[in-house]
Structure 1
Amino acid sequence: MEKFWFVLKRAKKVSPPPSNEWQIDHVQAKSKGGSNSYKNAQVLSRRENIKKSNK
Structure 2
Amino acid sequence: MLLADAGNVHFVTQSGLTLGSVLAIVCSWERNKSILLAIIAGLFSWLYVIYFALTRRPGETKP
Per the TM superposition, whether the score is higher than 0.5 is no
Structure label with greater radius of gyration: 2
Relative to total residues, which structure has the larger helix share, 1 or 2?
2
TM-score band, normalised by the shorter chain? under 0.3
